[in-house]
Amino acid sequence: MSPTRPLTVQAVTVAGYPGVEVRPERRTLLPPILWLHGVTNVPEYATPFLLEFASMGFPALALARRGRLGVPPHDPRSITFADYLVDTLTVFDALGGGAVVLGHSQGGLLALKLAELRRPPAVVLLAPLPPRGIPAAAPRLQTLPAALSSLRAILAGARFQPTLRQANALFLNNVPQHLRAAVYRQGVADSGRALRVAYFPGVPVDPARVAGPLLCVSGGLDRTIPAAAVGRVARRYKGSWLNFEDCGHEFLHEPQGPRVAREIGSWIKAQLQRP
């Protein structure tokens, strides 16, 4: 018997959008999982989850949206949420329309909007920015200075890139201390303009047009998207809800990340097996 081939992360380009892909050791009939990244993230950020999904038999990939990895424009300030949605739909369609879609944070809102406009076999929202009508809770006292500083950039439609101190307060709080700087350095400047519409007035998503299996995942220690807001998303869009009390916003680099990924993968497999 030949030795097991280790999983490898490979560069990939789909419809002109660069990213990374991990394929399982053996070809399977499972659909690919398309990862939609969050604010300031790049595709490589998703590598820990892509490896877990590939170990379960899923081809898994994450692709950049415009303003990253050489995809113009160089200055993100002109990019709108509608632009990011076009990027997302273009990639999904180029994959044949059969990919499971998993969106994290801002990517979660994009995934929900995609589910309104397309029919993926399953959708997973990981700590998603809520759609219009479901506000995220007000910041806690310990995050208030960082939140107000970030809000100024969002309202002005400026380049959005929190400092390491702000990131620690807002969303890296449950990442092990020795990993935080390295995780932070993976980030890039993003569009405050694209974020602004998500908060003011919010992105509308019609519940009547969202069909198919939907899973919403939250972290009990999340300071950015509170678990209660994710629960409201699940109820409005008739989805399942998994809350991990010991997780924050950045599941991928937190101690419980592999377990979260495996539970998501198991849920996806269960939905694909339903008649």
Q: Which amino acid, 135?
A: P
Q: Which long-range contacts (CB under 8 A, 24 or more apart) does 136-144 make?
A: 136/224, 136/225, 136/226, 136/229, 137/226, 137/228, 137/229, 139/223, 140/223, 142/169, 143/169, 143/170, 143/223
This prediction's pTM: 0.94
pLDDT given at position 199? 84
Share the mean pLDDT of the chain.
93
How many Å apart are CA 112 and CA 129, to the nearest integer? Answer: 10
Name the stretches of the chain with pLDDT < 50.
1-3
DSSP class of residue 132?
Answer: T
pLDDT tens, 163-218? 999 999 999 999 999 999 999 999 999 999 999 998 888 999 999 999 999 999 99
The burial of 89, by beta-carbon neighbours within 10 Å (0-12 exposed, 13-18 middle, 19 or more buried), is given as: middle
> Among residues 199, 236, 39, which one has the least CA distance to residue 228?
236
Place of tokens 């020795």: 178
Which domains does the chain carry? Answer: 9-272 (3.40.50.1820)
pLDDT given at position 109? 98
